[in-house]
A = this chain, B = another copy of it.
């Protein structure tokens, strides 16, 4: 590939100069993409092989298939099965450079992205797709007690805590003869919370049942706390009810209208009641990447940038914001939901609008196409809805299964995941039941559990 210096030399393109610049062969627009999630990756793919020089920047070297992250957190899959190096995914595109780095600021007027170590990456056009994290409603201190589930590290942290809770209970029961009352609390009745609660119940009731002697893992309590009056609130009411029933069949205690008021080591407070728990998982709230607020344009309460119909930001038509970071209002007044299909559609659309610029064509407004949504609840259980069609139970689960394997990036991963799922389904044996982590990581987990056992 061309060393950067040459690129700099030949690239006379700035947003204003594009329409002329693009007609000279040598002038290639420099497109920078921040974030290698679903949105950023789709944008990069759509620009692959086009007459632009693309630079994708991500803090991690890997793209994570987030819909399956909860299966890493519950020891069904290994991290390598749901994550792939971004540069591997994009290696066939010679015009795409992938660099590891953390974008901390965008100097819109200068066309420069600043990295955490002070390095600067110049751009003619920018696609910001830095995603979102869970929000702790202004209590970020809770994050050490109640890990969220957005990264591989998050998933390994939760896996560590869940497995450690059972190990310590077994150890205490064996050494003291006392049987501890294990309890796992998941905060948030959205897809992630429902998946986590169902998966933890499945581990306790089935997977670990035969491997422990001093304790009966089936007696562990799994409690799902949801602030609203139903779980999976984005689905139709009857599907929410079905999801709740399916969770309860799995042995999950679903508590609706239950807002978390406080969190401490070993316990969580709802209203005036403290609920003791060995592991607390946080699966609610959305806080868009802080990069959005630094763009100097209007954001919504979750920190999402309110974008124009073409996905660019007001006053800077060469800067696009997509995915979980973008607040895009649909004709019906509803914002586009923060789901991976929406992010991918936005990524493709932003790329198309950039190509349109370069070819002197009109940009098109973004239109979100909702192909429907599904949530899995546990082994053989799920709900799904697409337009007027609704499914629940085993059929919905099969649909979920094949759709997720199909969308999982990389054939080998698909194969490995299929193998692991098939194996886990037949034998209920987990392939990734490892407690790993350095002393510090382990002590965080231990502290919380000790906080409960006193």
Contacts and interface: CB of A to CB of B under 8 A. Distances in A.
A436 B153 contact: yes
Contact of A88 (B211, B419, B436): B211
Task: Give the oligomeric copy count.
Answer: 2
A433 B86 CA distance: 10
A277 to B, nearest CB: 20
A163 B119 contact: no
A156 B78 CA distance: 13
A87 to B, nearest CB: 5
A140 interface: no
A152 B436 contact: yes
Contact of A171 (B1, B60, B88, B100): B100
Interface string A164-185: 1001101100110100000000
Interface stretch (A280-288, A296-304, A437-445): A437-445
A40 interface: no
A338 interface: no
Contacts of A101: 171
A403 interface: no
A174 B99 contact: yes
A429 interface: yes
A5 interface: yes
Interface of A: 1, 3-5, 55, 60-62, 78-81, 83-85, 87-88, 91, 94, 97-101, 119, 121, 152-153, 156, 163-164, 167-168, 170-171, 174-175, 177, 210-214, 412-413, 415-416, 419-420, 423, 427, 429, 431-438, 440-441
